[in-house]
Structure 1
Amino acid sequence: MRQFLLTMAGVFAGLVLFFIGVPFLILSLIASAAHPAATPAKTVLALDLRRAMTDQEPDGVLPFTNRGLAVMSVVQALHRAEGDGRVKALFVRLPEGGMEPGEADELRLAFKHFRESGKPIIAHSQGLYSSGAIASTYMLGAAADQFWMQPGAPFQVTGMSMSDVFFKRFFDKYGVTADFEQRKEFKNAVNGYLYDNYTPAHREAETGWMTSVYDSATDAAAADRKKAPAQLRAVLEAGPYDAADAKTKGLIDHVGQVPEAEEAAIIQGGDGAKVVSVDDYISANKTVEASTVGQPVVAVVNAEGAIMTGPNEASFGAENANSDAIAGALQAAAKDSAVKAIVFRVSSPGGSDTASEQILAAVRAAKAQKPVVVSMGTYGASGGYWISSQASSIVAEPTTLTGSIGVFGGKFALGPALARFGVDLHDINVGGEYAGADSATQDFTPQQKAAFAAEIDRVYDGFIGRVAEGRHLSPDKVREIAKGRVWTGVDAKKWGLVDELGGFYQAVERAKVLAHLEGQTVRLKTVSIRRSPFDALAKAFGVDSTSLQTMATAARLFSDPRAQGLVHAMDQERLRAQGADVLAETPRF
């Protein structure tokens, strides 16, 4: 009876997947494969930065999961548009709040390169509100040829602020113990659980990187607005203003509504110019130019999000940097004889030490065969720095948050707190003293605490050793600059943690130099280990392989040749996706 019920459950799940999930997948694939309209002879690209952004294109294979805007896709599209005679100008809608500083840095470099090709940029803002790194948003507007603001819109670029929440007094009141180990004093990710205010080290670290980010953004904006940095900061900090005041003070160029700014961009495009979104331009220009076929290849491997063990999974939320997938992509790129160098794009604040070590081992193995250059995005910190530390070269944005060479770990002891509400936690442990160390029932025992601290020390010492080896520094020097402290790219370069300040294409140029390809045209090829659409859909719907086999059997029982053909085609796709797969190729860099 039990087996019968399990079989029927599998049949039901398979039928639901087949009659609901598969048609949805097919429609999504058809929609994504629809041929976009050709790029007009006179095109003004439109870039809306008010959308949610990621650093890299999500590595999902379900078309309906790829939402938002990927910075790297935009940067590569603008790089291509520079040499596209049909593209005449760029119209940008700025967000009202602060941007991730590293993303803004990368986009600013792309804007400047686009303008240097002789093509103008018109940017429009409907308001700049005092939130987060608002100076980074202003920096992007300042990088345009014309900076417009909506009449009456607020201009609140007066500095940079952030808040942290501290739970210590709440925990004390309700009997919760946060039992954590940190290495060292600047590794402040858990300080909100341990203290009721900033420690001196915590305040020093956050003030340091915030000041560096603010100074970098305002220095760049000052250069683009042709003002002295100190003069610009004095004017900004005397605010806030409205759009008219900002124009009077030389902070923007024009006051007008969105259609007026867009019309100014169309005029730059010439008679008959049409506005085309960057998304549509990317879709219409995915093919590899014939001129790049046969050229040396620089592989691009991406890592974004929290570093975790495991393969790439279908995801409807935040992307993770899965160690199996990234290590596999690095291995595939290293084995490809057409690939002469690898650019490893990293935007990660950290994660698992074991997953980080798996990726670092793949970096070392790949570097033994060809140059591996890391390009850091918004983050390259903690585990993000671990996986970067032994590359041939590291290129970071001025405001990349990197370093954080440290480790923390621990648990919350909830037993006493829950007991106050009539909930009792009790353990049964079999084996050694450490068997119950992770239990939330109580604090670590002294023996458990000593063993756990020793493990934290081992991981920290290993991190120090890997950085020392990769960066050719003494362990003592690394310990001096580590202690868990976050550095911006500017400061990390001073300490020898990165080699060069710049964006993705500076990393490509560095890879070309190391591969002895200076002056040559190369083709970029993004490499990834990915799941097939069939497997991804199965994962998304929580259906196991047995149920999928049941679905296939059910399709045959229905004697529907179209269904049988679809099952066969998807099965072939699953087999094809077992190894490395090229997700995208971009031309001529």
Structure 2
Amino acid sequence: MLQFLKYVFATLVGIFIFIFLSFVILAGIGSAFSSDEKVVVEDKSILKLDLNKPIQEVGVENPLSDLGGPFTGNENVTGLKDIVEALKSAQHDSKIKGIYLKTEGPQAGWATLEEIRNQLLEFKKSKKFVVTYGESYSEKGYYLASVADKIYLNPAGGIEWNGMSAEYSFFKGTFDKLEIKPEVFRVGEFKSAIEMFSRQDMSEASKKQSSELIGAIYGNFLTNISNSRNIPTDALKRFADSLTIDNPQAALSNKLVTNLGYWDEFEGSIKKSLSIKEDDNISYVGVDKYLQSDVTPEEGDFNNRIGVLVAEGEINSGKGSDESIGSDDFVKELKKVRDNDKIKAIVIRINSPGGSALASDVMWREIQLTAKKKPVIASMSDVAASGGYYMAMGCDTIVAQPNTITGSIGIFGLIFNVKDFMNNKLGVTFDAVKTSPHADWPTTTRDMTDFEKSMIQKSVNEGYDSFTKKAAAGRKMPVEKLRSLAQGRVWSGVEAKANGLVDVLGGVDDAIKIAAKAAKLKEGDYRVRYYPEKKRPIEDLIERFIGGSEEKAMNKNLGELSSYVKMYKKLMNMGGMQTRMPFELVIR
């Protein structure tokens, strides 16, 4: 009887789980399809720009994100494209009276923030208000908040105002303890990606380029804030050097914020601007909902299009994902765009630190073939370095933001020798038979000979020679000059423009205008289309249900340690020839 009850209980549990999962899937499908319904925007509405989320080039909407649970994948990712489109429409929408900017700690790179900031400044030309409230502001958050007419800070909050820093992790000690020997082959004084394996601190060359890079970005940061807040850059720098902004009152006294107040006081000021009663609710509309409303209708000839092909993430051969660029997928999509006669010019929007040298070269070749048929313009986002620059150099014109991270023209090879680790730590030994002395080369389970190492270095040298010659041809400069700018060195957009690695400073809209002009299209005579096209809701939902839970579970269970697991996975993918950024750069 007891055994029977166990089976009954197990069956009931199984049925319950089935019903629950069915509900989750159906709720997600319903949510996905209901997103096509038009949203009605009320009079005196406020566009709510919540930037405290991950921001990518194109948004990723997860219909299950609000339901929670282990199968719902990642949270929604806000698209830069959607943010800019919403701001452009709101600027001319009589129902939108202003913007509430929520930007305490945006999860985006500096060039992405620059695009949003510039569009906010453009929005302000409509004479509508931009206001922001924060319990605290990071420096990235304040960079956007600084354009607002009113900047509210919670009286118990604070502003991070202490300058910028870049910190790198070094794993030589770890590998020494594990008895793993990284065999590194490189070309370029500044190609310092390998320093994380061979050193315990930064080389002088790495310090030089890092200092100059963050100095250029910091200079742009201070100049733009100075212009918005009418505070001299020297004063702003002095505030950081002396940690002057150590409490909300200091932020108010030094004019970094306009008001100290709580949320109800902030909303009261909005109601006053809207001339509505204190008891009335403010009509906020988010970006996603706003874009589902009857916003400004699309203009331009349907048969004249500018195609924006987004390439975001690390570069690898084969298929890509939401977070990586697969050369097979990229080539397939580029061919499709190239062969579409309605698309008159192409903008390749690049946000990548690089990756596989082979995959980068495969994509460069396809870009070259496309450039023979129609104009191709490169638009650099937060980072377009190494393999990312490899893609850009095949384009007719390169456009970058002042704080884009680019360059890093160089190649390195990496092989991990795990013989001692396997022998001494795990007790695993290896033996083999072979027909030729080097039949097992390259290998991770024995020491390579000097001759074998020289052959790998020869391949790296040849790769660097090919990379720099192609870059020189694309930039129309002598290869000797190009190599003086290469050596794996990373540049800001401003520096890259000055030395000829970039043609124009600007954002994706500037690149689109350049592409239209090259295709002899006048403003208003064309439409813009982003590629790859978004998956249908049901396709995206199934993919997330099947494949999204692993990363979410890792993030939830490991917390801050999950970043180190991701780093480990990256290290394991760095075998072979790499055109990759010289370091994992996070500017704080």
Structure 2 length-normalised TM? 0.81
Q: 1:266 to 1:71 in 2, by over 3 A?
A: farther
Higher deviation after alignment, 328-337 or 348-357: 328-337
Describe the shift of the 1:275–1:410 C-alpha distance in structure 2 as closer, same or farther (beyond 3 A): same
Taking the TM superposition and a 5 Å limit, the aligned residue runs for 1:159-174 are 159-174=163-178
What's the Cα RMSD here?
2.9
Counterpart of 1:72 (choices 73, 81, 93) is 81
Q: Distance in 2 between matches of 1:76 and 1:363?
A: 27
Deviations 1:137-183 (A, max 9, x none): 32211122222211121223111123222232443344321111122
Q: Give a deviation string over 1:341-384, Cα, whole Å, max 9, x none.
A: 21211111111122222222222222222211111111101111
Contact 1:179 1:412 in 2 (8 A): yes
Cross-structure match for 2:318: 310
1:310 CA drift (Å): 2.2
Is contact 2:121–2:147 with CA below 8 Å preserved after alignment?
Answer: yes
Q: Does 1:243 align with 2:252?
A: no
Name the CA shift for 1:183/1:514 in 2 (closer, same or farther; >3 Å): same
One of 44, 59, 68 as aligned partner of 1:57:
59
Listed one character per residue, the Cα deviations across residues 268-316 of structure 1 (whole Å, up to 9, x for unaligned) are 4454751111121123358x82643546311111111011222355xxx
SS of structure 2 residue aligned to 1:355 = helix
Are positions 1:115 and 2:111 aligned together?
no
Q: Is residue 191–residue 489 contact of structure 2 (8 Å, CA) maintained in 1?
A: yes
Letter in 2 for 1:289: P
Match of 1:261 among 266, 275, 296: 266
Quickly say closer, same or farther: Cα 1:429–1:292, change in 2 above 3 A. farther
After the TM superposition, which of the residue ranges 335-344 and 392-401 deviates more from structure 2? 335-344
8 Å Cα contact 2:51-2:106 kept in structure 1: no
* Cα distance change of structure 1 residues 274 and 352 upon mapping to structure 2, 3 Å threshold: same
Q: How does 1:258-407 map to 2 (within 5 A)?
A: 258-271=263-276, 274-284=283-293, 289=297, 291-292=299-300, 294=302, 296-313=304-321, 319-407=323-411
Cα deviations by residue, 1:423-450 (Å, 9 ceiling, x for unpaired): 2231436454444334322333212211
In the TM superposition, 1:493-512 aligns within 5 A as: 493-512=497-516
Q: SS at the partner of 1:351?
A: strand
Paired amino acid for 1:374: A
Structure 1 counterpart of 2:248, one-letter code: A
Q: Secondary structure at the match of 1:95?
A: coil
SS of equivalent to 1:374: strand
Instruction: Provide closer, same or farther for how the CA distance between residues 539 and 509 of structure 1 changes in structure 2, counting only shifts above 3 A.
Output: closer
Specify the code of the residue in structure 2 equivalent to 1:230.
Answer: D
Query: Quick one: percent identity of the two aligned structures?
Result: 26
Q: Partner amino acid for 2:41?
A: T
Distance 2:298 2:174 in 1: 64
CA distance 1:473–1:110, shift in 2 (3 Å)? same
CA distance in 2, matches of 1:185, 1:231: 36
**Is 1:94 matched with 2:96?**
no
1:43 to 41, 45, 48: 45
Letter paired with 1:442: R
Aligned AA (1:496): G
The aligned residue for residue 184 of structure 1 is 188
Native 8 Å contact 1:45 1:277 kept in 2: yes
1:126 pairs with 2:135 = yes
Would you say the 8 A contact 1:299–1:526 is kept in 2? yes
What is the deviation of 1:471? 1.0
Aligned to 1:454: 458
Query: Residue in 2 aligned with 1:415?
Result: 419
Cα 1:259–1:319 shift into 2, 3 Å = farther
Query: Alpha carbons of 1:413 and 1:87: their partners in 2 closer, same or farther (altered >3 Å)?
Result: same
Would you say the 8 A contact 1:90–1:265 is kept in 2?
no
Find the aligned partners of 1:60 and 1:339 in 2 and give their Cα distance: 30
Taking the aligned partners of 1:60 and 1:470, their CA distance within structure 2 comes to 40
Structure 2: distance between partners of 1:228 and 1:481: 33
Q: Summarize the alignment of residues 23-42 of structure 1 with structure 2, pairs less than 5 Å apart.
A: 27-34=27-34, 35-42=37-44
Query: Given the superposition, is the C-alpha separation of residues 227 and 450 from structure 1 closer, same or farther in structure 2, using an over 3 Å criterion?
Result: same
Residues 241 and 423 (structure 1), Cα distance of their counterparts in 2 relative to 1, 3 Å cut:
same
The 1:75–1:290 alpha-carbon spacing in structure 2 relative to 1, beyond 3 Å, is closer
What is the TM-score normalised by the length of structure 1? 0.81
Q: Is the 8 A contact 2:301 2:526 kept in 1?
A: no
Name the stretch that deviates more: 178-187 or 96-105. 96-105
Question: How far 1:409 moved relative to its partner?
Answer: 1.7
Q: Which moved more, 1:356-365 or 1:486-495?
A: 356-365
- Cross-structure match for 2:446: 442
Distance 2:128 2:21 in 1: 45
Matches of 1:225 and 1:332 in 2, distance apart? 47
CA–CA separation in structure 1 for the residues paired with 2:252 and 2:167: 31
Residue 217 of structure 1: aligned partner: 221
Greater CA deviation, 53-62 or 170-179? 53-62
Separation of aligned partners in 2, 1:269 and 1:183: 61
Deviates more, 1:326-335 or 1:241-250: 326-335
Q: Cα offset for 1:490? A: 0.8
1:223-272: per-residue Cα shift (whole Å, max 9, x none)?
11122222321233322421111110111111112343344345444547
Q: Residue by residue, what CA displacement relative to the aligned partner does 1:61-112 show, whole Å, maximum 9, x if unpaired?
A: 9996672222222112212222222222111111347852112111111111
Q: Counterpart of 1:580? A: none
Letter in structure 1 aligned against 2:33: A
Q: CA deviation at 1:21?
A: 8.4
Residues 371 and 396 in structure 2, CA contact (< 8 A), matched pair in contact too: yes
Q: Could you tell me how far apart the structure 2 residues matched to 1:448 and 1:346 are?
A: 36
Partners of 2:61 and 2:190 in 1: how far apart?
33
1:67 is paired with a residue of what secondary structure?
coil
Distance in 2 (alpha carbons) for counterparts of 1:526 and 1:97: 24
Cα offsets for 1:446-498 (capped at 9, x unmatched):
12211111111122111112211111111111110011111111111011111
**CA 1:249–1:540 in 2, change beyond 3 Å: closer, same or farther?**
closer
The one-letter amino acid of 1:235's match is F
Q: CA separation in 1, counterparts of 2:470 and 2:225?
A: 37
Q: Is the 8 A contact 1:312 1:530 kept in 2?
A: no
- Contact 1:97 1:128 survives alignment (8 Å): no
Gaps of 5+ in 1: 1-17, 544-589
